[in-house]
């Protein structure tokens, strides 16, 4: 397998967590999506990461890739699968995963990563330039109600969708990890959400993400601290 990704693309991080939880190896190919390379657009005309290439098969979209990996490489978790067998629980897992891969992405993680990381590393001719401060402020405001939503879910469940780890948790944690690097998660505003994140970022699958860094942009104080 080959995964076209960016280290701080939240949807790419979700797929990387999924691969790691399954114990599936893949070659990682870093893609700067703002450059819009013709060769990459041939793989995914939408121009977004992640994109998975499995021999002669190409697919894109975070949850699509995650489910493909689970279905083709097997899920050894028995009843406690990353994508459960029960149709109603599957629907809830997909709903929450899509909340973060789509809604949270648009409202929070994509603008923060784009303005604070991606644009700073490219010349204007390739999509770079100065950050949009209004977009940054809006994203920083939006994250607060998403954090409260996580806390609300965790009041009745052991994990976000059901009482075991699923794609819903991996998706949410992937998005939060990208902006936690930047110090933009107000963890002190919801202790329940913070405790959930501490549990998931302590998993072995998270270690490669916490070891990554952006040259010239230091990680926040608690980014790689498993105990905050």
Per the DSSP assignment, residues forming a β-bridge with 5 are 30
CATH assignment at residue 40: 3.40.30.10
Task: Looking at the structure, tell me whether residues 95 and 177 fall in a common domain.
Answer: yes
Considering only 29-38, 124-133, 145-154, 174-183, which range has the smallest mean pLDDT? 124-133
Task: Looking at the structure, tell me whether residues 111 and 185 fall in a common domain.
Answer: yes
| Residue 125: pLDDT over 80 | no
For residue 49, CA distances in Å to 4, 27, 40, 157 come to 6, 14, 10, 31
Domain boundary among 12, 38, 73: 73
For residue 117, CA distances in Å to 77, 124, 144 come to 36, 14, 21
> First vs last Cα of the chain: how many Å apart?
34
CB 71 within 8 A of CB 7: no
Task: Looking at the structure, tell me whether residues 13 and 91 fall in a common domain.
Answer: no
Task: Looking at the structure, tell me whether residues 127 and 19 fall in a common domain.
Answer: no
Phi, psi dihedral angles at 136 (to 5 degrees): -65, -45
| Residue 170: pLDDT over 80 | yes
Tens-place pLDDT, residues 142-162:
999 999 999 999 999 999 999
Number of domains in the chain: 2
Question: According to the model, what pLDDT value does residue 147 have?
Answer: 97
- Residue span of the structural domain in which 194 resides: 87-210
Q: How far apart are CA 134 and CA 86, in angstroms?
A: 43
Task: Looking at the structure, tell me whether residues 92 and 195 fall in a common domain.
Answer: yes
Task: State whether the Cα torsion 118-148-223-93 is positive or negative.
Answer: negative
- Whether residue 155 is contained in a domain is answered as yes
- Half-sphere exposure of 202 toward its Cβ, with a 13 Å CA cutoff? 9
Domain boundary among 73, 108, 131: 73
* Selection from 203, 206, 174, 200 nearest residue 13 by Cα: 174
CATH assignment at residue 151: 1.20.1050.10
Percent of the chain residues past pLDDT 70, beyond the cut = 98
- Whether residue 188 is contained in a domain is answered as yes
Phi, psi dihedral angles at 79 (to 5 degrees): -70, -25
Q: Hey, is 5 helix, strand or coil?
A: strand
């Amino acid at each position: 397998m080959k995964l076209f990704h960016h280290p701080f693309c939240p949807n790419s991080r979700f797929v990387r967590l999924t691969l790691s939880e399954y114990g599936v190896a893949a070659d990682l190919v870093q893609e700067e999506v703002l450059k819009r390379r013709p060769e990459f657009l041939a793989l995914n005309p939408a121009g977004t990461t992640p994109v998975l290439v499995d021999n002669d098969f190409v697919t894109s979209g975070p949850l699509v890739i995650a489910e493909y990996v689970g279905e083709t490489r097997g899920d050894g978790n028995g009843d406690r699968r990353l994508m459960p067998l029960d149709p109603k629980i599957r629907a809830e897992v997909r709903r929450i995963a899509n909340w973060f891969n789509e809604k949270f992405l648009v409202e929070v993680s994509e603008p923060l990563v784009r303005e604070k990381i991606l644009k700073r590393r490219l010349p204007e001719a390739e999509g770079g330039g100065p950050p949009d401060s209004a977009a940054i402020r809006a994203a920083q405001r939006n994250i607060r109600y998403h954090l409260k939503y996580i806390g609300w879910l965790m009041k009745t469940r052991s994990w976000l969708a059901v009482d075991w780890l699923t794609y819903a948790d991996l998706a949410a944690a992937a998005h939060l990890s990208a902006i936690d690097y930047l110090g933009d998660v107000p963890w002190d505003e919801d202790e329940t959400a913070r405790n959930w994140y501490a549990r998931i970022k302590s998993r072995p699958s998270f270690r490669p993400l916490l070891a990554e860094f952006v040259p010239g942009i230091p990680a926040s104080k608690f980014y790689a601290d498993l105990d905050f």
